[in-house]
Amino acid sequence: MTGTVDPTVINLVVFVLAVFVGYHVIWNVTPALHTPLMSVTNAISSVIIVGAILAAGPSEVDFGSIVGAVAVGLAAVNVFGGFLVTQRMLGMFKKKTPRVENAAEKEKA
Q: How many residues does the chain have?
A: 109
Asked whether residue 63 is assigned to any structural domain, the reply reads yes
Per the structure, the count of domains in the chain is 1
12 — pLDDT class (breaks 50, 70, 90): very high
Q: Is the pLDDT of residue 2 over 80?
A: no
Q: Is the pLDDT of residue 3 over 60?
A: yes
Distance, in Å, from the CA atom of 32 to the CA atom of 79, rounded to the nearest integer, reads 21
Asked whether residue 91 is assigned to any structural domain, the reply reads yes
For residue 88, give Cα distances in angstroms to 10, 81, 91, 94, 107.
41, 11, 5, 10, 33
Q: For residue 78, what are the domain limits?
A: 7-96
Asked whether residue 89 is assigned to any structural domain, the reply reads yes
Distance, in Å, from the CA atom of 107 to the CA atom of 77, rounded to the nearest integer, reads 48
Helix, strand and coil content of the chain, in percent to the nearest 5, comes to 80, 0, 20
Asked whether residue 105 is assigned to any structural domain, the reply reads no
